[in-house]
Structure 1
């Protein structure tokens, strides 16, 4: 490893050398680790505040868990795909509006299915018979009532329990909510969709905190052209080093040294850590000195779920003109659902979306086997389905750069741990969806924490050097993020 003072890839004047005083005239500096939405937002904001910034990314691409694939000849988001909260209050709305990117709204504010409305579904049983919409609606109301009854249990019990256990207790109390036969299979499908929202199985989701996430108004909008244009805009002009997997972060009173697996080291006044929580859990990055116990506890106890996508590209559309196709079954594990991208984008693509244990089981398959598994699910409900001409498969749970899709609250672990994860340690700052207490698991949550970490970093570094008034203080308006109306459709 090269020394602090001689590394060719250090931040030049912005570098901190342990044996040389930092010159007051040199710009403040920061290293951002991870180029997802949090990292890009932090780097973008710090650079606009006159910091010298380098962004280190382990992948060979930017974007993190937001990944738009173009191999079908058009954009398909294989990670983050929705803007949760299609409204001006969403911190990403000004940028998306300014870029003129269209959104397809998939639900209003109060859908029991969170990101879709009931009327946008076509549900089928395993024999390929479509479930009457009246039954789907009735069972949806039952499921909503079950969740309300579960909330009563939450108020009565000081100890936490899983959503699965709470719903079982509700059915013991309220036999009138029990469903039999086909209705019970539809109920299991509702549970399956809830598990998809958290990317986790119901027996691991906290009853106490499952609805602590703040939902912005305006419903949920699918990014018709994918998130890549937003990512490219945030990355413009940044010094981004791809293929730089960080292995160690050493912090001192006057600076940080960040080591990469290729032997290089980078030095700066501060670092912003935006890697996914799964990577922190795996101890892929060593911290010296060790992180405080409360920070390690947050990393250990916040849960990470997995939801994957298997995109099937067809030469023609042979399915109903609805946003979602669902397959009901006797257990939530056996249920499935397909997002119909043709409805929103005009392209003949269905996206199978397994979550939790099912997602992990499918990740053990080859891509070919996984795509075939998804297609067989589709053939059960649409026997005349034509073979896909191409496929894409995500692996968020096993990908060493992510090790999960997004965070959620597991049983018995307090929600404030997300805030603990966000709080800085000396001159190391943290950002990412898992550090966002209100908007956990969302792109705008990740983006917002990146801006927050950048502002905290700016204040801390400039205060330390008595230069707070020398540099720009605005972190958003100078970037041109002025309000522009969002382009929203609903077919």
Structure 2
């Protein structure tokens, strides 16, 4: 096969910054922007396909919104921590099996509303009284009836409305589904759980699209050792440049040029953008030429929610032996949930998980004030709580490297926006959880889009070289590749 002269494919030196890094001319080259699961998956696949790959990451670590912290002396995931879909269909399953990573199963179903079995939950009112289990189950059945009734509302509405509006319509039509007193508070807790799933408030969640995502079977499990071992395995041997914040992405028919905050410039045949949706929305990265209007509309139309964790380490376990503790209240904003991490990691740790407006409000507090707030919520239900000895906080909403936790469908916007965000533009490819129409917000969604972007990029670049059959993806025992098309926290 005749090889094309690559010299006529390079961007002209006069349009590049003098402080420039060029890829070796022998192999096709790709720049991956972002070292989260999508970026690392894409880089791994292309590296194993004999591409020259460089990964530019703004943080001082890999993983993105997957962040395993070892401050306590044992691993705690501050971002994504669950494997949603404990099954062979999950694209992460082969890697988990190969690494022998343990999972702690928190449930055996795949319900959108809660990732637990009800008997594993202990609910309390704000006076510390345990909510009878019979009432919890009963209101859970009522909540499911309400959701089914909102589907009828959805079919009747020509225009999209919010989940909150749909609930109001259902209550007007079927007043028997309304609850009062403690039952009403339990119902608000169920709504709080739904809001936590999307990391957004019910008034912003789309009725038409809230259930468009695909849920893998097998229930959910916590990564006992955290997600860090998987990231480290995928990243092994890759050229990853940390503390490289991208400020400009210039594309041309024969290549891309990426400039960082420090002034360094990198050129390659193509680029894969795995920048979080919140950062794309902030317009802190300049695209030259400007992204098409339909791409900008997709970025604007998708919602980005906020869910945080306040991890509380105690000297002993003083709470019931259940998966979760819950606080019921008059509004979903006032409800709380605590994950009993002791069940999974055998250390006395509870994780407070606020979402939506509550999470945003807590981010306005100092670390100490936020930790005290979480502890006060706990004291409402367990007055004899032991003092905190350590705590950790995430701030995904205000973190400039994320500006949000994960994506969701906003009212009045199309679910097709996920697919539009994924579609390549020339030699610029996109990946990440917000580009997955099937698995938005999930780690396996980010991972699978990274693999898909890598494959699409590989084909395009090799076709442009006229060498489509020269470089094939590496296979075998030493690769971390899995099938292409298969945090939430």
TM-score w.r.t. length of structure 1 = 0.94
Structure 2 counterpart of 1:276: 276
Structure 2 counterpart of 1:152: 152
Alignment of 1:352-363 (within 5 A): 352-363=352-363
Structure 2 counterpart of 1:382: 382
Structure 2 counterpart of 1:166: 166
1:297–1:383: structure 2 CA closer, same or farther, 3 Å change rule? same
Instruction: Describe the superposition over 1:390-448 as per-residue Cα deviations: whole angstroms up to 9, x where unpaired.
Output: 00000000000000000000100000000000000000000000000000000000000
Task: Give 5+ residue unaligned stretches, structure 1.
Answer: 15-25, 484-491
- The answer to whether residue 181 in structure 2 is matched with residue 181 in structure 1 is yes
In structure 1, C-alpha distance between the alignment counterparts of 2:297 and 2:111, rounded to whole Å? 34
In structure 2, C-alpha distance between the alignment counterparts of 1:260 and 1:405, rounded to whole Å? 24
Structure 1 counterpart of 2:113: 113
User: 2:461 aligns to what SS in structure 1?
Assistant: helix
Structure 1 counterpart of 2:22: 11
- The answer to whether residue 406 in structure 2 is matched with residue 411 in structure 1 is no
1:465–1:178: structure 2 CA closer, same or farther, 3 Å change rule? same
Alignment of 1:22-421 (within 5 A): 26-111=26-111, 113-421=113-421
Structure 2 counterpart of 1:456: 456
Instruction: Describe the superposition over 1:266-318 as per-residue Cα deviations: whole angstroms up to 9, x where unpaired.
Output: 00000000010000000111000001010000011100000000000000000
Q: Residue 277 of structure 2 contacts residue 407 of structure 2 at CA under 8 Å; is this kept in 1? A: yes
In structure 1, C-alpha distance between the alignment counterparts of 2:256 and 2:17, rounded to whole Å? 15
Q: Residue 110 of structure 2 contacts residue 216 of structure 2 at CA under 8 Å; is this kept in 1? A: no
In structure 2, C-alpha distance between the alignment counterparts of 1:477 and 1:437, rounded to whole Å? 31
In structure 2, C-alpha distance between the alignment counterparts of 1:112 and 1:405, rounded to whole Å? 18
In structure 1, C-alpha distance between the alignment counterparts of 2:198 and 2:290, rounded to whole Å? 31
Q: CA RMSD in A?
A: 1.5
Q: Residue 16 of structure 2 contacts residue 257 of structure 2 at CA under 8 Å; is this kept in 1? A: no
User: 2:123 aligns to what SS in structure 1?
Assistant: strand
Q: CA shift at 1:117, angstroms?
A: 1.6
User: 2:21 aligns to what SS in structure 1?
Assistant: coil
Q: CA shift at 1:478, angstroms?
A: 6.4
Q: Residue 33 of structure 2 contacts residue 271 of structure 2 at CA under 8 Å; is this kept in 1? A: yes
In structure 1, C-alpha distance between the alignment counterparts of 2:288 and 2:252, rounded to whole Å? 9
Q: CA shift at 1:480, angstroms?
A: 4.9
In structure 1, C-alpha distance between the alignment counterparts of 2:90 and 2:477, rounded to whole Å? 15
In structure 1, C-alpha distance between the alignment counterparts of 2:352 and 2:296, rounded to whole Å? 35
User: 1:420 aligns to what SS in structure 2?
Assistant: helix
Q: Residue 316 of structure 2 contacts residue 348 of structure 2 at CA under 8 Å; is this kept in 1? A: yes
Alignment of 1:400-479 (within 5 A): 400-473=400-473, 479=479
Instruction: Describe the superposition over 1:230-257 as per-residue Cα deviations: whole angstroms up to 9, x where unpaired.
Output: 0100110000000000000000111000
Structure 1 counterpart of 2:10: none
In structure 2, C-alpha distance between the alignment counterparts of 1:474 and 1:212, rounded to whole Å? 34
In structure 2, C-alpha distance between the alignment counterparts of 1:340 and 1:9, rounded to whole Å? 50
**Which aligned runs of 4 or more in structure 1 are off by greater than 4 angstroms?**
2-9, 474-478, 480-483
User: 2:247 aligns to what SS in structure 1?
Assistant: strand
User: 1:131 aligns to what SS in structure 2?
Assistant: coil
1:187–1:10: structure 2 CA closer, same or farther, 3 Å change rule? same
Q: CA shift at 1:473, angstroms?
A: 3.6
In structure 2, C-alpha distance between the alignment counterparts of 1:343 and 1:153, rounded to whole Å? 40
In structure 1, C-alpha distance between the alignment counterparts of 2:85 and 2:202, rounded to whole Å? 24
TM-score w.r.t. length of structure 2 = 0.94
Instruction: Describe the superposition over 1:353-376 as per-residue Cα deviations: whole angstroms up to 9, x where unpaired.
Output: 000000000000011100000000
User: 2:24 aligns to what SS in structure 1?
Assistant: helix
Q: Residue 251 of structure 2 contacts residue 257 of structure 2 at CA under 8 Å; is this kept in 1? A: yes
1:5–1:335: structure 2 CA closer, same or farther, 3 Å change rule? closer
User: 1:13 aligns to what SS in structure 2?
Assistant: coil
Q: Residue 23 of structure 2 contacts residue 29 of structure 2 at CA under 8 Å; is this kept in 1? A: no
Q: CA shift at 1:476, angstroms?
A: 8.6
In structure 2, C-alpha distance between the alignment counterparts of 1:360 and 1:476, rounded to whole Å? 45
User: 1:72 aligns to what SS in structure 2?
Assistant: coil
Q: CA shift at 1:109, angstroms?
A: 2.3
Q: Residue 54 of structure 1 contacts residue 239 of structure 1 at CA under 8 Å; is this kept in 2? A: yes
1:340–1:9: structure 2 CA closer, same or farther, 3 Å change rule? farther
